[in-house]
Amino acid sequence: MQSYSQRVRDSILPLSVGGTLPKAFEEWYFTGSTEDHEEPCETCELCGQDGLRYHFEISNRFTGHALHVGSHCILQFDVAVYEGSRRLTPKEAEKWLDKLTQQMRLNSCIKALEKLARAERSSILENALTYYRKNKKLTPRQAFVVFWRPRRNRIDHSPSFFNVTLRRKQHAADLQEMTTDKVHFFWCALTPAQRKQAIRFGHSPPKEQASVRTGERST
């Protein structure tokens, strides 16, 4: 069976000018192009790893060749990641790639929710998504609807996808009047300050977070 290092050499060296892996990888950079395949069905064109859902495109600045790889390989081989003209440090690159992955997950979640709203003719869910696209936040009532739907329909989502707004008095009043079990659906999306406000309204943290300090936010 071909070794991991040999697979990498066979993939990258024929497409590069440099004759060694260190020299070859100096020629490659992340283009910023990503693709979500919706399910873990793809392969990293660099190391051969199967079961990838997300592809990140890297390109050779000299030969123009491109490969679609997993984010792990970009970090593993220190492929250049840029923000404008500045090359990011490895830690910055890791954060940037994670941010792009989370954005792809968010886009997929919204797409699935939009499809669900059309299928069920749910004006409440449609209005919540329209409000989010415009304001980048959800009201407490909308947050319950949006977070309840993914859980019920097994849609890939994360509490960090959506932010909740309490800027208007009505939004705070809605949070106060909601039953605690509904607030628990979007508790992880609340900021530390919003959680403290919810507790002042009489809501208790979910049991699984009872031992976690109120100031911490799950990601």
pLDDT of residue 211: 40
pLDDT tens profile 169-202: 999 999 999 999 999 989 988 999 999 999 999 9
What band does 146 get if pLDDT is binned at 50, 70 and 90?
confident
pLDDT of residue 152: 77
Find tokens 């849609």 and name the residue: 155
pLDDT, residue 15, reads 98
Position 159 scores a pLDDT of: 66
Select from 72, 158, 68 the least CA-distant residue to 109: 158
Local confidence band at 218 (pLDDT 50, 70, 90 cut-offs): very low
pTM of this prediction? Answer: 0.76
28-75: pLDDT as tens digits: 999 999 999 989 999 999 999 999 999 999 999 999 999 999 999 999
Q: Tell me how far apart the alpha carbons of residues 84 and 81 are, in angstroms, rounded to a whole number.
A: 10
Question: Binning pLDDT at 50, 70 and 90, where does residue 109 land?
Answer: confident
Calculate helix-pair angle for 140-153, 90-120, nearest 10 degrees: 90
- Strand, helix or coil at 42? strand
CB atoms within 10 A of CB 63: 13
Residue 2: pLDDT band (50, 70, 90) is low
**How many angstroms separate the CA atoms of 217 and 219, rounded?**
7
The span from the CA of 3 to the CA of 86, in Å, is 34
Q: Percentage of residues in the chain with pLDDT exceeding 70?
A: 93
Dihedral, 167, 170, 171, 174 alpha carbons, nearest 10: 160
CA 28 to each of CA 8, 50, 68, 95, 215: distance values in angstroms, whole numbers, following the listed order: 14, 22, 12, 19, 41
C-alpha distance from residue 120 to each of 112, 116, 125, 143, 167 (Å): 12, 6, 10, 18, 31
159 and 183 in contact (C-beta within 8 Å)? no
